[in-house]
Chains A and B, each alone.
Chain A
């Protein structure tokens, strides 16, 4: 009996050590996708790889949209968010005099217990070769471009370095990097940095041409998951010509502790959620966001 108990405890301990989602997970809000992922969502504090398909391997547009949808629902690490809550409460009640004289502790204090990081907030570092991101387009997938810090560097090595620097700062919501090559060693470094700080890294693979894509596509990496996002022909809307509801094929190619799978979904909407099919998806009610559109100034 006692042996069985200790065995259970041991299993539990091993599970906790092995658990890839030490920093929690971000559910997609789509049951079929979340079921395929260990922990029920995208592991935070880890490196995820997102690929394009066909000609989009050069532009990574669908991958960028998919990443924007994830970022729209991602906030900074809970520990930092708790510190933020403590600070604002103290400042509000007038403790401690000047606002600059607080001593913040990174551990979640009892006053801040139960506070959850607000989703869709906190800065995002996006490292790429040529700054071709377009704010209004990202906003359509839920990512407020005011959260972005964009770093442009001509070479993969510099981008990988910039991603790693970003992963060391727990205040960031996430780091996105667009690289052609992701060597095993570099990927492992990123994974370690992400685990330490709890910041999530999304690595979009973007290849210059077909040859580079062909050699790099099959190469394995140290990322926790590998996704491929492909634009699908849009679903026609009854009675409306032209482009209907745009859709993606989202493939989970590799996932540690999960099973590869694929889903055809409607593209991420302005709240960052994908949906399997309108009406069928069982997702939580949309987050209460401000009633204003995210980019009101865009005419």
Chain B
């Protein structure tokens, strides 16, 4: 048996008893399988709910594993509730409303509070020793209260040390020799001779504002109003410190003890109250208020997890947009509210920019970079290095251009066959011969990944005369190519790729649509080459 309720305890049952014994005591005993994982999850949720008292909360784990308590660091926050006693009373009231039996203790050290809560406090009577009285309060408690493993505790009992007070006069090194480090350490921690920090659940916010309601609220209009007040509380603090928020979290503490969150990131640091309120309010409908009408929210906590320096500036002015996006600060500032709104609803990853890269591999030459990454100026440099730039001259080696002699283009496959193998390269097009630029045309849309097509061709180096793409047949009437694009051999995966060499053709079908086809694999190899549509020209 893992746990018993008060009624069963009164009948003489205790945790750890075999079920058969228990049933012999009480034949009518109602049992349910223990679910440690669910218990622990529920406790974590409760610890999160306790965030209304302080940002430092965590479930309290037993030495043998499993948790049955919650630690809250209330230093500096008790006065917000009118003192420690009032805080304990408020906590007790809320827990009772959720139907949670509880014992509360407040002490100067984590160890003392833990011992008092388990061995001194009772339901409805919290243990609140005055500051400095922890030693006296602990003295009468059994040694088990010191978070010792059962073997050590039994050892202490065997030599007649039953209460914590009896350990006070013992020399610490003798204790450590006889019973191991744990006893002396736990004792020191309980008495405050050794520090014991609380590792909070989750991340600790750097700035945090809280709003509690006398009556739970659930109406969206009320919630929106509360958001405005929270933001109005937060913004002056940010302004005083000269920073803007990058990552925020708004927690809704529901009446039933669950906590719902709105988390959001911004494209650039901001402390514009209207903008922040709008971002948060836009996400209100994602919050589960527990049915309709909602159960109600009794606390809202707005926490800022990441800030960046933001010098004083005129806020909400329609700044000019002079040029490139994000590159210069002015345009970025004017666009940021829009990008944040888009990012808040669709996710920051949904908003991106096209960034040119130094690569001759078509799909790497123009990359979608999410706004959230692009705005971090520091990040951009290492990322650019991650895709290696070609060594000097490599470009010329990587792409081999064949500019063949001009020949009349065959208009049908039979004609092409008749003309023989001398037509192996078809070349032409305004991109080369007329503008004088050696840059071949590129499609306006590029498919990632390239879409396979069923192609029919005659000669190894020819473009297909017919291909089927998306169940549509296209007859090729004109073609340019091939443009050979090899993988970047100076990268490890580039040289190992199976279809490292692609021959690109620009083809035009009978309707005039122009496609960018490529053949993967060399014609001479054993495997039959595969054909893909990589893009469509305008």
Number of A positions contacting B (CB below 8 A): 83
| Residue in A closest to B474 when the chains form the complex, CB atoms | A55
Q: Is A26 an interface residue (CB 8 A)?
A: no
Q: Is A186 an interface residue (CB 8 A)?
A: no
Q: Is A233 an interface residue (CB 8 A)?
A: yes
Residues of B316-342 whose CB lies within 8 A of A? 317-325, 327, 331, 334-335, 337-339, 341-342
Residues of A71-90 whose CB lies within 8 A of B? 76, 80-81, 83-84, 87-88
Provide the A265-280 mask, 1 if CB < 8 A to any CB of B, else 0.
0011000000000000
Complex CA gap A207/B43 in Å reads: 50
Q: Is the CB of A242 within 8 A of B478?
A: yes
Q: Is the CB of B318 within 8 A of A80?
A: yes
Q: Is A121 an interface residue (CB 8 A)?
A: yes
B507 contact set on A, CB distance < 8 A = 243
Known: A66-B538, A146-B327, A150-B352. A239 touches B406 (CB 8 A): yes
Q: Is the CB of A55 within 8 A of B446?
A: no
Q: Is A137 an interface residue (CB 8 A)?
A: yes
B-binding segment of A39-47, A159-167, A212-220, A253-261: A159-167
Q: Is A183 an interface residue (CB 8 A)?
A: no
Q: Is the CB of A245 within 8 A of B511?
A: no
Q: Is B97 an interface residue (CB 8 A)?
A: no
Nearest Cβ on chain B to A215's Cβ, whole angstroms: 19
Number of B positions contacting A (CB below 8 A): 81
Q: Which of B320, B345, B443 contacts A137 (CB 8 A)?
A: B443
Q: Is the CB of A134 within 8 A of B323?
A: no
Q: Is the CB of B511 within 8 A of A231?
A: yes
Known: A151-B350, A171-B334, A241-B409. A76 touches B321 (CB 8 A): yes
Q: Is the CB of B512 within 8 A of A149?
A: no
Complex CA gap A65/B370 in Å reads: 24
A-binding segment of B5-13, B177-185, B247-255, B422-430: B422-430
Q: Which of B314, B443, B479 contacts A101 (CB 8 A)?
A: B314
Is the contact region of chain A dominated by helix, strand, or loop, or is it mixed? mixed
A-binding segment of B32-40, B84-92, B128-136, B359-367: B359-367
Nearest Cβ on chain A to B409's Cβ, whole angstroms: 4
Q: Is the CB of B320 within 8 A of A84?
A: yes
B-binding segment of A2-10, A56-64, A188-196, A281-289: A56-64
Provide the B413-444 mask, 1 if CB < 8 A to any CB of A, else 0.
00000000000001111100110010101111
Q: Is B490 an interface residue (CB 8 A)?
A: no
Complex CA gap A80/B320 in Å reads: 6
Q: Is the CB of B359 within 8 A of A299?
A: yes
Residues of B371-416 whose CB lies within 8 A of A? 371, 390, 395, 406-409
Q: Is A122 an interface residue (CB 8 A)?
A: yes
Nearest Cβ on chain B to A260's Cβ, whole angstroms: 21
Q: Is the CB of B480 within 8 A of A122?
A: no
Complex CA gap A104/B318 in Å reads: 7
Q: Which of B311, B325, B480 contacts A123 (CB 8 A)?
A: B325
The 7 closest A-B pairs by CB, nearest first: A65-B538, A242-B428, A84-B320, A135-B366, A241-B409, A61-B536, A137-B444
Please, could you name 22 A-B residue pairs with CB atoms under 8 Å apart, sorted by A? A54-B511, A55-B472, A68-B444, A80-B318, A83-B320, A100-B313, A121-B322, A123-B325, A132-B445, A137-B446, A150-B352, A161-B345, A165-B342, A172-B321, A231-B512, A233-B477, A234-B508, A237-B430, A237-B433, A241-B408, A248-B538, A297-B357
Binding site for A on B (CB under 8 A): 311-314, 317-325, 327, 331, 334-335, 337-339, 341-342, 345-346, 350-360, 362, 365-366, 368, 371, 390, 395, 406-409, 426-430, 433-434, 437, 439, 441-448, 470, 472, 477-480, 506-508, 510-514, 535-538
Identify 18 new A-B residue pairs, CB closer than 8 A, beyond the known A137-B443, A147-B324, A171-B334: A83-B318, A83-B320, A103-B314, A131-B368, A133-B446, A134-B444, A134-B446, A136-B442, A145-B356, A146-B325, A147-B323, A158-B346, A171-B318, A233-B477, A237-B433, A241-B407, A243-B514, A297-B356
